[in-house]
Structure 1
Amino acid sequence: MPPAHENRALASAGARVAMTTSSDARHPVENIIDGNTKTFWMTTGLYPQELVVSLPAPVAVTKIILTSTKVAHWTADVSAHEKPHHFERLATQDVEDSDQGLQITTLSLPKADNLARHVRLSATKGHGPFASVHKVAVYGNEPGMMVPTPPPPTAASGGGPPVPAV
């Protein structure tokens, strides 16, 4: 499995788009996982607009970065199941309008071990009737590769509370 600093949501890494709420033959949804910000998926109006990216293997998600235009609010949900169902809310975030430029949004995640096999992204509001998504990047660790949190120090290890002098 690739290291945590590599985008897991790339077609070349085995990711695929499992579902989308709209399609445009000139700007297909597969463009969001090709790694190229010059290609994009264009929504066909109305909100919310959703898409589901299925990763090749479960990932403990540490960061999601979305490159888009005219999206005013994102929500992200994850599912660790083999098939994309039983999603849990991971993050919500408002996005400032970039006046025709690309918006690069790093979603604020509540914790660093959000297990996901599928990521559902929803543009719930827009700064205009149409929006584009240029790139979805999902970063994380293989679930068994999580860095363990060290146990709290104990008196036996010399890290406990001070012992009063007698």
Structure 2
Amino acid sequence: MDITRWSIPKSDYILCSQRWRSSIQSAKIRPGADRGSDHELLIDKFRLKLKKVGKTTRPFRNPETFWTTTGMFPQEFIICFHKHVKIEKLIIRSYFVRTLRIEKSTSKEPVDFEQWIERDLVHTEGQLQNEEILARDGHVTYLRFIIVSAFDHFASVHSVSAEGIAVSNLS
């Protein structure tokens, strides 16, 4: 796998396969985020375009592409929907995630998040965790996934699948 590295002073690295390097929009360090470690909290922003999947097409799935933590917790990532959507079900495939919190926002920008779901996941040694969540009050524009704790120093999220309907365009 080809790996591209962006070095940021006094921090770790963002690793991304060569195929997705143009998706990274920015990376920065959050000053003053003391996590009891010599690492800095690193925030990266990337663009993700979701494809509609019909009955005759299959989604692109690269089993070697996933999001992983750097060993400090909490860790988070944000998914943006380019429309207001009503989510009915989420399916999350992860590894070594102990506690997962999902926050939602209906704002035009990724702000004003409110806690939506928090789950303790079952440890599945040697295989991915498959967590299916039936959503209540799932009107969202942004979802923030926070890995609160893990079963090991590192954890990973391999896929997030959201089922629901588009409610309206962002204006």
| TM-score of Structure 1 vs Structure 2, range by shorter chain | 0.5 to 0.7
Q: 1:36 Cα shift?
A: 3.5
Residue by residue, what CA displacement relative to the aligned partner does 1:12-43 show, whole Å, maximum 9, x if unpaired? xxxxxxxxxx864156887x976444321111
The aligned counterpart of 2:166 is 142
Q: Which residue of 1 aligns with 2:102?
A: 76
Which of 85, 89, 98 lines up with 2:115 in the alignment? 89
Higher RCO (Cα < 8 Å, 6 or more apart) = 1
Letter of the structure 2 residue corresponding to residue 139 of structure 1: E
- Is 1:25 the counterpart of 2:51 in the alignment? no
Contact 2:103 2:143 in 1 (8 A): yes
| Post-superposition offset of 1:127 | 0.4
> Could you tell me the TM-score, scaled by structure 2's length?
0.62
- Could you say which residue in structure 1 is the equivalent of 2:139? 115
Unaligned runs of 5+ in 2: 1-11, 21-43, 51-59
TM-score relative to the length of structure 1: 0.64
* Structure (1/2) with the larger strand percentage: 2
Distance 1:80 1:115 in 2: 7
Partner of 1:61: 87
Q: Say which one has the larger Rg.
A: 1
Helix, strand or coil at the partner of 1:73: strand
For residue 148 of structure 2, the aligned residue among 90, 113, 124 is 124
Partner secondary structure for residue 117 of structure 1: strand
- The CA RMSD over aligned residues, in Å, is 2.4
1:49 aligns with 2:39: no
**1:81/1:108 CA distance change after superposition, 3 Å:** same
Alpha-carbon distance in 2 for matches of 1:23, 1:138: 29
| Rounded Cα–Cα distance in structure 1 between residues aligned with 2:139 and 2:99 | 23
How far did residue 88 of structure 1 move? 1.4
Q: Which whole-Å CA distance do the structure 1 matches of 2:13 and 2:149 have between them?
A: 18
**Offset of residue 141 of structure 1:** 1.4
Cα distance between partner residues in 2 of 1:124 and 1:107: 17
Give the superposition deviation at 1:58. 1.0
Which residue does the alignment assign to 2:36? none
Q: How many residues align?
A: 120
Which deviations, in whole Å up to 9, do the C-alpha atoms of 1:53-96 show, x marking residues without a partner? Answer: 00121101111111110000111111011101111111111101
Letter in 1 for 2:145: L
> Sequence identity, in percent?
26
